[in-house]
Amino acid sequence: MAEVAILGFGTVGSGVAEVIDRNQAQIRRDFPEGIHVKYILDLRDFPDSPYADRVVHDIDIILNDPEIRVICETMGGKEPAFTFSKRALEKGISVCTSNKELVDVLGGTLAVIAKEHCCSYLFEASVGGGIPLLRPLRTSFSQEFITTIVGILNGTTNYILTKMERENLPFEDALKQAQEKGYAEKDPTADIEGHDPCRKIAILASLVTGGNVKFKQVPCEGISGIDTMDMEYARQLHCKIKLLGVCRHDQETGKVYVRTAPYLVRHGHPLYGVHDVFNGVLVRGNMVGDLMFYGSGAGKLPTASAVVSDVVECVQNAGHTINIGLSNSDADLFDPMDWEDRYFVRIRKQDLVRATELFGSEIRIVVNENAPEEFAFVTPLIAERDFEEKVKQIPSFMKSIRILKN
Ligand code: HSE
């Protein structure tokens, strides 16, 4: 049996143990030797757990055991996860993780250390939970230039937006329901302000370009400013509002544009129909065209299943590094202020003439009978820099939402 250790016995960590035990027969189809959890590292004890006798509190017990082949890092956060992962990789022990925060900040560093020590650093579970996404990107797409990744990468906010749209609920009420269902945390900031999907699109952009894109370099906006009136306008435009991670990679310049923000998604687009707590990711290759990945982007067992898929790949590839195409250099980022989008804009009635002067007569006006004092319009394609300059000159400007191009 290949011996593994789990660092952090929380939701995902306990799920990893469960997947390995319950699906041992399935694992043995691809890896006949089988996989066994030898240690669980946690600060706590779990006296009532069937794994109680495997719990240790000292990382050195794990790192000094020559039988350990893979570590599942499901602790989250930067430290001590980084130090433990680094020490494991330096000993030639592969690391599989769901820790998107660490992957975003230090994934490139850990991937390089893994390569130097003939082992692997894999993080399938860090993006899209149970959806196989990173593995197809680095295997089935070797021959492709990936031009676009656009994804609904956060289940909690997709649930909130779905509730707001279908039941006409204010944001606060939909958030409360998401918390009651256990989707949103007590402190929901990382989800509703877009930090979680922003980390995920940063990881995807890094993999697509082979250079590091860090969360902090990516413009990030969440959904806390979306209201029921926006939903009403979206309906009139035959669109749905979705929180998207967007990555556009230009083959000629090699530059990459990355953003997380709410977008209006038109009826007929593959992401239009991704509802509730589900994730959906559209990947466009220059030869293969559009592919959609859809499924559970969160949850104990789907996320743990993705971690275990990495463990199986690591034990199958013992003694050499699985190339994930991630280096320690920086990606060449497109200046987001130069990026062109069409915008949906809400203003008060008195500024209609001003809006037409600024944006041209081709703006599309959207009237809302439920709000007679205001209206909205859709701009032609315009660079963000120019858009910001123009809306500053509209005294009653209320808000804008980008419209997804394609
Ligand atoms: N909170 C995330 C979501 C799951 O709602 O999708 C973990 O990435």
50-64 tens-digit pLDDT:
999 999 999 999 999
Going by CA atoms, what residue is nearest to atom 4 of ligand 1? 298
Residue 284 DSSP symbol = E
CA 20–ligand 1 middle distance (angstroms): 22
The per-residue pLDDT for range 83-94, each reduced to its tens digit, is: 999 999 999 999
Please tell me the predicted confidence (pLDDT) of residue 47. Answer: 96
What DSSP element (H or E) covers 351? none
Confidence of residue 371 (pLDDT cuts 50, 70, 90): confident
340 in Cβ contact with 162 (< 8 Å) = no
Q: 340-352: per-residue pLDDT in tens?
A: 999 999 999 999 9
- What mean pLDDT do residues 394-399 have? 96
The pLDDT value recorded for residue 325 is: 84
What is the Å distance from ligand 1's center to 299 Cα?
8
* Average pLDDT estimate for 360-382: 89
Question: Among this protein's residues, is 163 annotated catalytic?
Answer: no
Confidence (pLDDT) at 189? 97
Atom of ligand 1 nearest to the CA of 298: 4
pLDDT the model gives residue 298: 87
Residue whose tokens read 């960590």 = 13
Instruction: Select from 103, 175, 183, 215 the residue to mutate for testing ligand 1; criterion: most ligand atoms less than 8 Å from CB.
Output: 183
Catalytic residue among 38, 100, 163, 200: 200
The angle formed by the CA atoms of residues 152, 154 and 155, to the nearest 5 degrees, is 100
The minimum-distance atom of ligand 1 relative to the CA of 126 is: 8
What is the number of the ligand 1 atom nearest to the C-alpha of 159? 5
Say what percent of the chain tops pLDDT 70.
Answer: 100
* Residue 203 in tokens: 């990881």
Which residue among 160, 192, 196 has the greatest number of ligand 1 atoms within 8 angstroms of its CB, and so is best to mutate? 196
* Region 153-181 average pLDDT: 97
pLDDT for the residue numbered 363: 87
**Structural Rg of the chain based on CA atoms:** 23
| Ligand 1 atom nearest residue 100's Cα | 8
In one-letter notation, the amino acid at residue 230 is D
Lowest-pLDDT range of 140-149, 290-299, 363-372: 363-372
Cα 346 to averaged position of ligand 1 atoms, centre (Å): 30
pLDDT at 140: 93
Digit-coded pLDDT (tens) for 238-256: 999 999 999 999 999 999 9
pLDDT tens, residue by residue, 109-122: 999 999 999 999 99
How far is 37 from 46, CA to CA, in rounded Å?
A: 15
4 in Cβ contact with 70 (< 8 Å): yes
Ligand 1 centre and the CA of 127: distance in Å? 9
Indicate the pTM of the whole model.
0.95
Asked if pLDDT for residue 326 goes beyond 90, the answer is no
Cβ contacts of 169 within 8 Å, gap of 6 or more: 163, 177, 228
Q: How far is the CA of 392 from the centre of ligand 1 (A)?
A: 35
Pocket of ligand 1 (CB under 6 A): 154-156, 183, 191, 196, 297-298
Task: Specify the ligand 1 atom closest to the Cα of 156.
Answer: 5
Place 190 in a pLDDT band, splitting at 50, 70 and 90.
very high
Q: State the chain's mean pLDDT as an integer.
A: 96
- Of all residues in the chain, the percent with pLDDT exceeding 90 is 93
Q: What is the pLDDT of residue 312?
A: 98
The neighbouring-strand residues paired with 132 are none
250 Cα: distance to centroid of ligand 1 (angstroms): 29
Query: Is 406 a residue whose pLDDT tops 90?
Result: no
| Burial class of residue 30, CB neighbours in 10 A (0-12, 13-18, 19+) | exposed
Query: Which residue has its alpha carbon closest to ligand 1 atom 2?
Result: 154
